[in-house]
Amino acid sequence: MLLILLGELHMKLNWMRRQQLVGYMFIAPNMIGVSCFIIIPALFSIILAFTNWEFPRLSADFVGMTNFSRLFQDEVFYQSLKNTLIFLGSVPISVGLGFLVAIVLNKSVYLKNMLRTMFFLPYITTGIAIAFVWMLIFQPVDGPVNTLLKSMGIVHPPGWLSSTSSAIFVFDIIWIWFLLGYNVIIYLAALQEVPSELLEASKIDGARRMHTIRYIIWPLVSPSTLFLLMTGFITSIKQMGIFQAITDGGPGDSTTVLSLFIYKTAFRYYDMGYASAISVILLLIIIVITAIQWFAQKKWVHYS
């Protein structure tokens, strides 16, 4: 009797061990790739941040915190930090706008699907190609935007991309436009989970409608709001392509954001150690944003 029990136990253990092995085998191919091309390089970059390696020199020395102290005295670093923050400002604006559009599209329009498609088009089709279209739309002398402003009686419209004071805001406008479709889609999906009596109630009269949207629907979709804000911040902080393509950080350094600053330091000046130090700061910022999300989720977000 005992023998049979032991035998069964043995088989069960064997089965579990095999199950373990099969599990690892399923994960392994992707895990190895992700380790080789993401995790190990990221760790390696953290080490590089403490060296003075310059491409294509074959040797490097550990220099301790030198790169970081240099960073904190580097005006371009502060400028790029400031530009990054201004650029990130587009995220809450786009999320807020996305909520309003979704509320209206959800129940109060005809041709809902067609309108949704139009709002969503930029998010999927936008690569570097559209960057050049925006460049011409904001052309300072007689581009469509300034022609419109002049026809409205504004004699000296902004120089947009050609002026150090306005160039970064063009990127905010592009980015609000780019993210909007995604925000609308996510809010529309979230609104489907809101009980329909609440949405019906919001149709009755003006004052109550506003009240319902502000005090009932907005808190109910707050998990989506948090999700959109945080993923929005993270995708935006990583964005480098449109800056490189449209202005390459100029005029001056007025559109140099952190990600572009890293790229230029590494692949224009080949100052690899220093570039790695900046990228470590970028990673820290992303970790802080994620941590805030983690804690805010508990405090602010309303789970029904």
Closest separation in Å from C-beta 29 to another protein: 5
Closest separation in Å from C-beta 6 to another protein: 23
Angstrom distances, CA of residue 251 to CA of 52, 65, 120, 256: 29, 31, 31, 9
In this chain, which stretch among 57-65, 66-74, 84-92, 173-181 interacts with another protein, using CB under 8 A? 173-181
165 sits near another protein (criterion: CB under 8 A): no
Q: Which residues pair with 62 in a beta bridge?
A: 51
Which one among 52, 166, 244, 297 touches another protein, defined by CB under 8 A? 244
Q: Is the peptide bond before 140 cis (omega within 30 degrees of 0)?
A: no
91 sits near another protein (criterion: CB under 8 A): no
Is 165 or 219 the residue whose CB approaches another protein more closely? 219
In whole angstroms, what is the distance from residue 237 CA to residue 285 CA? 9
Closest separation in Å from C-beta 12 to another protein: 14
What string marks each residue from 266 to 285 as x (binds another protein by CB under 8 A) or -? xx----x--xx--xx-xx--
In whole angstroms, what is the distance from residue 275 CA to residue 265 CA? 5
Strands (E), 71-208: none
Is 39 or 154 the residue whose CB approaches another protein more closely? 39
Is 2 or 56 the residue whose CB approaches another protein more closely? 56
What string marks each residue from 28 to 47 as x (binds another protein by CB under 8 A) or -? -xxx-xx-xxxxxxx-xx--
CB contact burial 49-82 (16+ within 10 A = b; e otherwise) = bbbbbeeeeeeeeebeebbbeebeeeebbebbee
Q: Is the peptide bond before 56 cis (omega within 30 degrees of 0)?
A: yes
119 sits near another protein (criterion: CB under 8 A): yes
